[in-house]
Structure 1
Amino acid sequence: MMKKLLLPLCLFIASLGAFTCFAQETIRIATGEFPPYYSQKYKNYGPTPAIVVQAFAQVNIKVEFGFFPWNRSLELAKNNIWDATCCWFETPEWGADFYYSDAVRVREKIFFHLKSYPFDWQSFDDLKGLRIGATVKYSYGEAFDAANKAGKLLIEQAPSNEMNLKKLFVGRIDIFPIDRQMGYQLLADSFSPEKTQLITHHPKILFTDSVKLLVSKKHPKNQYFIDKFNQGLKMLKEKGEYEPFFIKGQ
């Protein structure tokens, strides 16, 4: 009788062990609102989070996103309250606390200005004396930082891109650097069509860089998550399933 009871019990325990071995792991990623790339309102949270989800899916890791103000999402990941944060440009400041993944996607930043403001530039010398809006915690490239440090730029910081656009409309700043696609989406979402038509951009690219997944150097599985993501991203590209995530016309 005992043998009859032990056999099903052993099989049950063995099945639990097998389930544990194949159970899907989860990574929790802090992010923020950044239309048209990420938003809680979008299907699959937008194209950039969709890339991250599918890359991790290639290596059997499930992604859970949490949306927070951007500065807070950085702190949540830095202090291991969340496993990672996405997606950020690579800077010396953040490199001190985080490991970076391979590039999730590439973006360009250009200068927005009022159509009524005659603006042209070819070098940072051309920007001298202009009031330039900048958003706190945003990166505009090493060349921009160097020009600012050399005293060539007059920077006025604001807490958000939307606030900088408002300052642009009322003439408190002359130009504002922002991701092209994101800037026009923000105009469409936050301002009237009449106001949006007052804005244009200069075609010269200020800054091109890639955004990446960040995992804290204090996280016990930091290199593991970075390696797994890079592996999954590579697999996604090799299967031809990466490009479809890009926004048409970006």
Structure 2
Amino acid sequence: MMKKLLPSLCLFIASVGPLSCLAQEVIRITTGEFPPYYSQRYENYGPTPAIVAQAFAHVNIKVEFGFFPWNRSLELAKNNIWDATCCWFETPGWEADFYYSDAVRSREKIFFHLKSYPFNWQSFDDLKGLRIGTTVKYSYGAAFDAANKAGKLLIEQAPTNEMNLKKLLVGRIDIFPIDRLMGYQLLADLFKPEKIQLITHHPKILFSDSVRLLVSKKNPRNQYFIDKFNLGLKRLKESADYEPFFIREQQGKKINK
């Protein structure tokens, strides 16, 4: 009986073996709500997660996204509970815990202010005495940090961007640095048109940098994911599929779900 079963068993193993070798790899990535760049409400979770997913697709890796508060998103990846987190500016000290990918996309921050407040600036000296709202855990660039350390800036921190926009509207702060597209998206989500019309932004860019995928150094194999992602991202950028992911310049126009 055993002799009769062996040929069939061998054929079964031979048929299953090649299929198992073709199984697609999966990477689990944390992220958070950050309209209009990331949101569970958007198709493909928004343009930035879509870039990440398509870059990995170019190297036959499937992405599973999990949405969490941003601090938790970072910690889950740092402790290798999830494989990676998307997407962050390079931050001093983080390189001890994370591998950084190549640049996924660039973002810039500018100052929002009330139209009734005559604001103009060309250097950090022009910001002396102004009440500047900032959001906890957000980066505003090395030059901003240096000016703050030198005592040139009057900073008032708040836990969220939403709270800072509310403070700006009622005059509790004078200016608020935020990503331009995100700022106008939040205004559209939070306030009525007559309130939105009270706010504008200064055209001078405070800070411009690129966001990157981060993977934990606690798992040595994660360097493999960074290498594969960078290869896939390079292929994506060289294709005709990269540019359509970018949000067109707009102010206060809500992204469709």
Q: How many residues align?
A: 250
Q: In the TM superposition, what is the alpha-carbon distance from 1:142 to its structure 2 partner?
A: 0.5
* 3-state SS in 1 of match to 2:49: helix
Match of 1:37, as an amino acid? Y
Kindly report which structure 2 residues correspond to 1:85-96, keeping only aligned pairs within 5 A, or say none.
Answer: 85-96=85-96
The match for 2:129 is 129
The match for 1:186 is 186
Between the aligned residues of both structures, percent identity stands at 86
- Aligned partners of 2:190, 2:12: CA distance in 1, in Å? 57
Q: CA RMSD in A?
A: 1.2
The match for 2:152 is 152
Q: State the Cα deviation string for residues 107-145 of structure 1 (Å, max 9, x = none).
A: 110000000110000000000111111111111001001
* 3-state SS in 1 of match to 2:100: strand
Kindly report which structure 2 residues correspond to 1:228-247, keeping only aligned pairs within 5 A, or say none.
Answer: 228-247=228-247
- Aligned partners of 1:68, 1:189: CA distance in 2, in Å? 20
The match for 2:196 is 196
Normalization by structure 2: what TM-score?
A: 0.94
Q: State the Cα deviation string for residues 198-224 of structure 1 (Å, max 9, x = none).
A: 110000000110000001111232211
Structure 2 unaligned regions, length at least 5: 251-257
- Aligned partners of 2:102, 2:86: CA distance in 1, in Å? 12
Match of 1:194, as an amino acid? E
Kindly report which structure 2 residues correspond to 1:60-71, keeping only aligned pairs within 5 A, or say none.
Answer: 60-71=60-71
* 3-state SS in 1 of match to 2:219: coil
Runs of 4+ displaced beyond 4 Å? 1-4
The match for 1:114 is 114
- Aligned partners of 1:4, 1:239: CA distance in 2, in Å? 54
- Aligned partners of 1:126, 1:215: CA distance in 2, in Å? 39
Structure 1 unaligned regions, length at least 5: none
Q: In the TM superposition, what is the alpha-carbon distance from 1:192 to its structure 2 partner?
A: 1.2
1:77 aligns with 2:53: no
Normalization by structure 1: what TM-score?
A: 0.97
The match for 2:211 is 211
Match of 2:12, as an amino acid? F
* 3-state SS in 2 of match to 1:92: coil
The match for 1:52 is 52
- Aligned partners of 2:90, 2:202: CA distance in 1, in Å? 25
Match of 1:141, as an amino acid? G
Q: In the TM superposition, what is the alpha-carbon distance from 1:226 to its structure 2 partner?
A: 0.6
Match of 2:167, as an amino acid? K
